[in-house]
Amino acid sequence: MLALLLCTGFVLSAGLTAALRRYALARHLIDVPNARSSHTRPTPRGGGVAIVLTFLLALPLLAWMGALSVPEMLALGGAGLLVAAVGFLDDHGHIDARWRLLAHFAAAAWGLAWIGGLPVLSVFGTALDWGMFSQLLAAVYLVWLLNLYNFMDGIDGLAGVEAVSVCLGGALLYWLAAPAGATCALPLMLLAAVAGFLCWNFPPAKIFMGDAGSGFLGITLGLLSIQAARTVPEFFWAWIILLGVFVVDATVTLLRRVVRGQKFYEAHRSHAYQYVSRRFGAHRSVTLAVGAINLFWLLPIALAVGLGYLDGIAGVTLAYAPLVWLAIHFKAGAAELQEV
């Protein structure tokens, strides 16, 4: 039954993306290259709505199959729908940053309330329980993750390949280390939805994801990491490791721009992946390189943490150290020529 649902989700997402491309062309929802762009030709946007619709439609079926509880369905569905709706409206016009941020925190609060919040985590064998402060940190984590996902959706296929890699790793964690009764259906369903969209977004992209899709992926992956932690606490650190490329590039870039006194929310092209794509003149090679880092570096460390062979914080440190070096080496957050 699950295999049939996954195949249907893949086909539905690919079909919806094709329909959304026609819609974007008819409504002139086109990303036109400018000084802040990483692409060179006008491309329709908003295809990520296919991921949103496919995953949200699958949630009730997964709940009926027993793959998730009703509160988990409400957490993922409500938070994801709110973030996607705000992103959709922003894709079609403009919503002031303060209202977007308010909606993002509302979505994070909704998701945490229904999913049961962040569980007690272990740091070097010590339980970390800060009560409500832990839940506040969890909300900030979700909002940062959904925004950094938006920041990192800047070249063809990158956000989709990242989501597929992370979901594959999350599914393997459930398969290898989760207790009886836990299921990998949710990350696999999201993987299928993103894979369908990738048929149209893999370099050279025929349609972009848009804020609706990138924000939805960010908060959904964040909630899946917290849900995984409620199954096995070590899984939280494993998901943080799987998300490492996006977390490190976006965070290093943000910190270096803030230190220089620049507005962190202004559009720019100073992420490491953007500098690399301009240096090599191709999106495909960068996207494939990120996929390779995820599969051959981050995934083995995440599995070692999830299986209990490595402490979570030690695993994050080991996984992130070379990523931080790479981000700095490839000028993440360095001043662009227009800013000098």
3-state helix/strand/coil string of 174-229? HHHHCCCCCCCHHHHHHHHHHHHHHHHHCCCCCCCCHHHHHHHHHHHHHHHHHHHH
Residue 107: per-residue pLDDT: 98
Which is more confident, 262 or 25?
A: 25
The average pLDDT across 142-165 equals 95
Of the chain, the end-to-end C-alpha distance in Å amounts to: 57
CA torsion angle 210 212 218 222 (round to 10): -170
Please, which contacts does 295-300 make with residues 24 or more away whose CB atoms are closer than 8 Å? 295/165, 295/168, 297/322, 298/165, 298/169, 298/241, 298/242, 298/244, 298/245, 299/165, 299/168, 299/169, 299/172, 299/242
* Cis, peptide link before residue 204, omega less than 30° from 0: yes
Distance CA 132, CA 148 (A): 24
Residue 334: per-residue pLDDT: 86
Residue 211: per-residue pLDDT: 92
Q: Could you tell me which residues come within 8 angstroms of residue 138 by beta carbon, excluding any fewer than 6 positions away?
A: 108, 112, 117, 118, 226
For the chain, strand residue ranges (E) read: 30-31, 43-44, 121-123, 126-128
Confidence of residue 37 (pLDDT cuts 50, 70, 90): low
Is residue 156 annotated as involved in ligand binding?
A: no
Select from 84, 115, 134 the least CA-distant residue to 223. 115
3-class DSSP state of 121: strand
Is residue 201 annotated as involved in ligand binding?
A: no
Q: How many CA atoms lie within 13 A of 66 on its CB side?
A: 3
Q: Is the pLDDT of residue 225 over 50?
A: yes
Residue 339: per-residue pLDDT: 46
List residues bridging with 127 in a β-sheet. Answer: 122
* Contact of 258 with 264, CB cutoff 8 Å: yes
The average pLDDT across 102-131 equals 88
The C-alpha R_g of the chain, in whole angstroms, comes to: 19
The average pLDDT across 247-255 equals 95
| Percent above pLDDT 90 for the chain | 75
**Least confident among 3-12, 152-161, 267-276:** 267-276
Q: Could you tell me which residues come within 8 angstroms of residue 139 by beta carbon, excluding any fewer than 6 positions away?
A: 105, 108, 109, 112
Q: Is the pLDDT of residue 35 over 80?
A: no
* Residue spans per domain, the chain: 2-339
Confidence of residue 260 (pLDDT cuts 50, 70, 90): confident
Both tokens assigned to 42:
């006008």
Query: Would you give the distance in Å from CA 268 to the centre of its chain?
Result: 19
Distance CA 18, CA 256 (A): 39
Q: Is the pLDDT of residue 305 over 60?
A: yes
